[in-house]
Structure 1
Amino acid sequence: MSNSHLFMKTGFPRAALNNGIGRYVCQLQRVTIKFCKNNGSSRGVRDFLEHDLVNFAKENPGIVVYVKPRRHRTPALSAEYLNGEKQLLFCRNYTREEVNKWLGLLRSQVRDTSAIRLRKMWHTDNPSIQGPWTPWTFRDPAQNLVEFPDPKLFKMETEQQTATEKLLEIFKAQQEAERKRANETG
């Protein structure tokens, strides 16, 4: 077993900014589109900028979009999220539709630390101040000194009557009642 888990962040998996509890907050804060004006591998990114960038900015007013032309470099999308995480996606030879789909994915996903070491299998934001419940929580403390089996606390199995025995008694009582009626009338 390796010790690589010692260098991982520890914590509990949580929804970013309690997303889903109240209103939805888009986690993508900033997108930087980097491209080359002349290189052929940036053609899809340039087409996206000419045709779809304005619509994307209108549909997502909470996302800041930066356009950064660079000479002789591979086109890339750089995304920054509310929690400080960054993601870089290289878009070499992507079409306009592929760039649009990747931006949609970056917008909809929550980029948090994907590799965290879980401290426990369960977690609560509001721990109980009373402590955990056990089956002995509300029991009488006098039971601590009793030697079991104690007839005062529990009925012994020999004293209890089974359901079959009860039915046999009821049946015998009915038969005796019928005999007395038959003797009185006959």
Structure 2
Amino acid sequence: MSNRAIPNAFVKNVLQNGLGRYICQLQRVTLNFCKATPSSLGTRDFIEKYLVDFTRENPGTVVYVKPIRNRAPFLVAEYLNGRQERVSTKDMPADEVCKWLEHLRTRSGAQIVNLRKEWLTNTPSTQGVWHPFLNKNPSLAGTSFPAPELYGAKTESKSATDMVLEEAGVKKVGSVDSASSKE
């Protein structure tokens, strides 16, 4: 299918789905098949073998079985957003019908589109695009890296530990002299 046939759009999602609990977007499935034609054999086998299990696993999805005469079999999936998807199951084995039904169950029901952008925001940034030097001093732009003075923790005043050690008259831990002077 060419790109002209698939519409362009921005990223969209079903709002609030999964907040609190997941809501399956598939509302209703209709299995249309013929009782006599050989092209409906896979759909009839699916109904006999797998349909009861599918309905037990998905109690929120209504399943209709609709026999039609002398027509090719197909599935019709209806979603909560009002869209319908139709899949022809002509000459498909039961396993493939099961895979298509699972595909329809896990879809959101939104139309398949080419994405214009991988992201979308309703409130674009007034600051522009973020970069590593966004809120930094402009003089860093000319600094050659690695610069050791930029990597240490910056403290404006003495820490409480430094004040206690000063009052006690003890040198900082890690100094060889402080360990030998205690002995």
Judged with a 3 Å threshold, the aligned counterparts in structure 2 of structure 1 residues 102 and 122 are, in CA distance, closer, same or farther, namely: closer
Distance 2:121 2:44 in 1: 48
Kept after mapping to 1: 8 A contact 2:11/2:115? no
Q: Name which one, 1 or 2, has greater alpha-carbon Rg.
A: 1
| Mapped partners of 1:117, 1:97: distance in 2 | 32
Question: Would the alpha carbon gap of residues 101 and 9 (structure 1) be closer, same or farther in structure 2, given more than 3 Å must change?
Answer: closer
Offset of residue 110 of structure 1: 2.0
Query: Which structure has more helix as a fraction of its residues?
Result: 1
State the identity as a percent: 46
Task: Judge conservation of contact 2:11–2:118 (CA < 8 Å) in 1.
Answer: no
Q: TM-score, normalised by structure 2?
A: 0.59
Root-mean-square deviation (Å):
2.9
Question: Does 1:133 find its partner at 2:127?
Answer: yes
From 101, 109, 124, the counterpart of 1:103: 101
2:147 alignment counterpart: none
Distance 2:74 2:82 in 1: 19
Q: Which consecutive unaligned segments of at least 5 residues does structure 1 have? A: 135-153, 155-186
Unaligned residue ranges in structure 2 (runs of 5+): 129-138, 140-183
Amino acid at match of 2:64: Y
- Spell out, residue by residue over 1:108-130, the C-alpha distance to the aligned partner (whole angstroms, 9 max, x if none): 12231223775x775335x38xx
**The residue matched to 2:65 in structure 1 has which SS?**
strand
Q: Counterparts of 1:121 and 1:55 in 2: how far apart (Å)?
A: 37
Moved over 4 A (4+): none
